[in-house]
Chains A and B, each alone.
Chain A
Amino acid sequence: MTVVDGIFFLLAFGLAFSLMGMGLFLSNKVFKLVDLTCESSFALGGCIYGSMVLSGMNPIMAIAVAMFLGYILGIITASLINYIRLDPIMAGLLTVGGTQSLLTKLVESRTFNPSVFGNLSPSSNFVIAAIIVGIVGYLFYRLMISEYGLSMRVYGDGEIITESMGINGIKVLSFGLGLENLLCALSGALVAQMTGDFAVNMGSGCIIFGVSAILLGEKMFDGASIKTAIIGAFVGSVCYEALLKLIVSKEMIGFGEEYNNMLMAISMMMLVALRPIEQENRTSNRV
Chain B
Amino acid sequence: MISTEDAFVVFNAGTPLERVALRGVSLSVQDGEVVSIFGNNGSGRSTLLKALAGHIPLSFGRLWYNNIDVTSQSLLARSKIVASVFADHTVCTAESLTVLENLVLATMSYQTKSWVRKAVHDDMEDRFYSQLRNLNFMDMEQLLHEKVCDIANPYKHILALLIAIIKGVKVLVIDEHSTGLDAETAQILLNVTMKIIRSKKITTIMVTNDPEFSVKHSDRLVVLNYGQVVANVSGEEKKKMKLEDLYLAFTRKPAVSNKKAPVNV
Whether A165 and B105, one on each chain, are in contact in the complex, defined by CB atoms closer than 8 angstroms, is yes
The B111-128 residues at the A interface (CB cut-off 8 A) are 111, 113-120
Measured in the bound complex, the distance between the Cα atoms of B113 and A143 in whole Å is 11
| Nearest-CB residue, chain B, relative to A30 | B96
B residues in contact with A164, CB < 8 Å = 75, 79, 83-84, 91-92
Q: Give the size category of A's interface with B.
A: 20 to 34
| A163 beta carbon closer than 8 Å to chain B | yes
Given contacts A146-B117, A161-B92, A164-B92, contact A151 B105 (CB under 8 A): yes
Query: SS class of chain B's interface: helix, strand, loop or mixed?
Result: loop
Whether A163 and B97, one on each chain, are in contact in the complex, defined by CB atoms closer than 8 angstroms, is no
| B94 beta carbon closer than 8 Å to chain A | yes
Measured in the bound complex, the distance between the Cα atoms of B96 and A166 in whole Å is 17
Query: SS class of chain A's interface: helix, strand, loop or mixed?
Result: helix
Measured in the bound complex, the distance between the Cα atoms of B94 and A165 in whole Å is 9
Whether B119 and A284, one on each chain, are in contact in the complex, defined by CB atoms closer than 8 angstroms, is no
Whether B109 and A167, one on each chain, are in contact in the complex, defined by CB atoms closer than 8 angstroms, is yes
Measured in the bound complex, the distance between the Cα atoms of B101 and A136 in whole Å is 24
The B8-47 residues at the A interface (CB cut-off 8 A) are none
- How far in angstroms is the closest Cβ of chain A from B221? 28
Whether A149 and B79, one on each chain, are in contact in the complex, defined by CB atoms closer than 8 angstroms, is no
Measured in the bound complex, the distance between the Cα atoms of B17 and A87 in whole Å is 24
| A158 beta carbon closer than 8 Å to chain B | yes
Measured in the bound complex, the distance between the Cα atoms of B116 and A168 in whole Å is 19
- How far in angstroms is the closest Cβ of chain B from A6? 40
| B62 beta carbon closer than 8 Å to chain A | no
| A245 beta carbon closer than 8 Å to chain B | no
10 contacts between A and B (CB under 8 A): A147-B114, A147-B117, A150-B105, A150-B113, A150-B120, A151-B113, A153-B94, A153-B101, A161-B90, A161-B92
A residues contacting B by CB (< 8 A) are: 32, 142-143, 145-151, 153-154, 156-161, 163-169, 224, 282-284
B residues contacting A by CB (< 8 A) are: 55, 74-76, 79-80, 83-84, 90-97, 101, 104-106, 108-111, 113-120, 147, 149-150, 163, 167
